[in-house]
Amino acid sequence: MCGIIGILGKTQAVPRMMEALKRLEYRGYDSAGVATVADGRLDRRRAPGKLSALEAVLADSPLAGLSGIGHTRWATHGEPTEANAHPHMTDRIAIVHNGIIENFRPLKDELLATGVRFEGETDTEVVARLLTRYLNEGLAPRDAFRKTLGRLEGAFALCVLISGDDDLMFGAREGSPLVVGLGDGENYLGSDAMALAGLSNRLIYLEEGDWAELKRGGLQVYDAAGNPVTRPVTLSQVAATMVDKGNHRHFMQKEIFEQPTVVAQALGRYLDPNEGTVRLPDMPFELADIPKVTLVACGTSYYAAQVARYWIEKIARVPVEVDIASEFRYRDPVYQAGGLAIFISQSGETADTLAALRHAKAAGQRIAALVNVMGSTMAREADLVLPIHAGPEIGVASTKAFTCQLSVLAAFAIKLGVARGLVDRAREADYVSELEQTPKLMARVLHNDGKMAEIARQIADARDILFVGRGIQFPIAMEGALKLKEISYIHAEGYAAGELKHGPIALIDEKVPVIGLAPKDELIDKTVSNLQEIMARKGRVVLISDNAEHEDGLLARFPMPPAGDLVAPILYAIPVQLLAYYTAVEKGTDVDQPRNLAKSVTVE
């Protein structure tokens, strides 16, 4: 979602801020802007649309200054117009904001009643006007900022410049992440480590309620009560070069093809091939004592949770509940004492998943976070962190994070089975050697990408596409449908193959392609029967399978290597990613930043 950069530097801020905003493009946005303070005077440039539009504005009307704040905005309150774009500015301050000010209406009414005038419709402008009012009342900047924070409800990360002072910047974090970067005679603020990559690798993650006063030569962090506090400095692993497409046309393509490497990395952290064992980070609780596992996530991470349910129940015989984070805490879930709740999130910042995590924590559950971003809020609030080691994922459509999530969840399921005495040493070693084959098999699937590009050409004109699978392939069918719809804008749904006859088969005609996921397992005959029912109604079936026996009447078959239950879902994720990717390319959509979507969804 929105991205923030703030620089108190020694060289011109605008080119550096534009570089940082480009690194933040992956988060999704629909307008952008920058502001500087130079010789005490604030000025700004903003533009709706992509950063190229802002670049054009800056080319016409450059902006000087060593201190600046910049923002990419994903519209929540008010359309993505120039007036609603950040920074918001008055004669006293300039401000950028991520999140939502929930009490902006009463605050706005209060300000309107005192004659304050508003330019746009955003909740952020209320903060700008309130802070200005306190400065106009004579408060010093630090006091005015603190008093403003005390009036705000909701989730926010703020970054503020003050007119009349080129060496002063304020930041605050409440519900939305904000990171301080420490430089050499410079200091920075950013919405994540990616914003600051290339500027600084020495980072301070502000904690909930923290606010900070930055100068070039110093920094003071305060907690919510206004007490000066010291927060630890962490070294960022995110390099600016990671935000690079290499030889690929899109980040998504690069990330799909990186999967054998990153899955090998992830498995390398969790498997010991010499010993034939799974190793997990140190546990603050006994795995063997867990009576129930609750898995909660959104989007693609939710489908990873659905696959994990099959593994955990089958291998470790522990009951598993899976839910979508935005539904979970509102249905008053029944927790089991001593239960483990695992929150799965690439970003570790998804607002709904974070809220669900806090709900489960308040109910006394043991909390694990399976995340890609180690400094993320979920990682910091969990009792146990299971990193997925996928490296930065830039494409909005999640690909490598999904297969790394699955790899770690498979390892977790085996370890749980071991802890409960259901998986003996020999079985554990078998599982480990099975999982060890995954990267090699993934590379074989990717080798056939040209075949999927051909299939994509044949289905790219469809209005609706169905994905079907049984058992552990059912979540992969849903993931395939999500991937396709989010980047190609073709309507797609994933169904359990056995459910088609209960309604969805009414949609089938010669215009509706159906993608069948059918590894040669104990369910293949049933899945193939379901696909034959579709073909009997003129549906165009693409079969993704290692079984070459059922090719009659198919639109196409995408060949897969044979794989067992532990590896097959990881492997079958690849063809559906490739199908979505090549279909989107065929349709000419914006693959990496599809319309209306954000990489990290930090509002509920």
Give the interface with ligand M6R as residue ranges (CB under 6 A). 298-301, 345-347, 350, 353, 396-398, 482, 486, 600-601
Rounded Cα–Cα distance for residues 506 and 548 (Å): 28
Question: In this complex, which beta carbon is closest to ligand M6R, that of residue 134 or of residue 328?
Answer: 328
Q: Which residues pair with 469 in a beta bridge?
A: 496, 517
Q: Looking at 2, 159, 298, 404, which residue is catalytic?
A: 2
Q: How far is CA 604 from its chain centroid?
A: 14
Q: Is 508:534 a contact under the CB 8 Å cutoff?
A: yes
| Residue written as token pair 């990290």 | 600
Q: Is 124:83 a contact under the CB 8 Å cutoff?
A: no
What backbone torsions phi and psi does residue 81 show, to the nearest 5 degrees? -100, 170
Retrieve residue 470's tokens: 């049984």
Rounded Cα–Cα distance for residues 83 and 179 (Å): 27
Rounded Cα–Cα distance for residues 417 and 113 (Å): 64
404 part of the active site: no
Q: Tell me, what amino acid is at 523?
A: L
Q: Is 296:305 a contact under the CB 8 Å cutoff?
A: yes
Strands 277-278 and 271-272: antiparallel
Task: Choose among 8, 51, 60: nearest CA to 33.
Answer: 51
Largest CA distance in the chain: 81
Helix (H) or strand (E) holding 33: strand 31-38
Q: Is 411:280 a contact under the CB 8 Å cutoff?
A: yes
In three-state secondary structure terms, 477 is helix
Secondary structure (DSSP) of 190-244 = ESSHHHHTTT-SEEEEPPTT-EEEEETTEEEEE-TTS-EE----EE----GGGS-
CB of 543 to ligand M6R, least distance (A): 24
Question: In this complex, which beta carbon is closest to ligand M6R, that of residue 67 or of residue 345?
Answer: 345
Question: In this complex, which beta carbon is closest to ligand M6R, that of residue 84 or of residue 345?
Answer: 345
Q: Is 341:368 a contact under the CB 8 Å cutoff?
A: yes
Task: Choose among 47, 322, 3: nearest CA to 178.
Answer: 3
Question: In this complex, which beta carbon is closest to ligand M6R, that of residue 431 or of residue 467?
Answer: 467
Q: Is 516:531 a contact under the CB 8 Å cutoff?
A: yes
Question: In this complex, which beta carbon is closest to ligand M6R, that of residue 446 or of residue 601?
Answer: 601
CB of 360 to ligand M6R, least distance (A): 15
Question: In this complex, which beta carbon is closest to ligand M6R, that of residue 574 or of residue 601?
Answer: 601
Question: In this complex, which beta carbon is closest to ligand M6R, that of residue 493 or of residue 565?
Answer: 493
Q: Looking at 254, 400, 415, 599, which residue is catalytic?
A: 599
Rounded Cα–Cα distance for residues 178 and 99 (Å): 11
Q: Which residue is nearest to ligand M6R (CB)?
A: 299
Question: In this complex, which beta carbon is closest to ligand M6R, that of residue 395 or of residue 539?
Answer: 395
Q: How far is CA 490 from CA 350, 445, 531, in A?
A: 25, 24, 21
CB of 602 to ligand M6R, least distance (A): 10
Q: Is 571:520 a contact under the CB 8 Å cutoff?
A: no
159 part of the active site: no
Question: In this complex, which beta carbon is closest to ligand M6R, that of residue 491 or of residue 511?
Answer: 491
Task: Choose among 318, 322, 320, 319: nearest CA to 288.
Answer: 318
CB of 268 to ligand M6R, least distance (A): 22
Catalytic annotation, residues? 2, 599
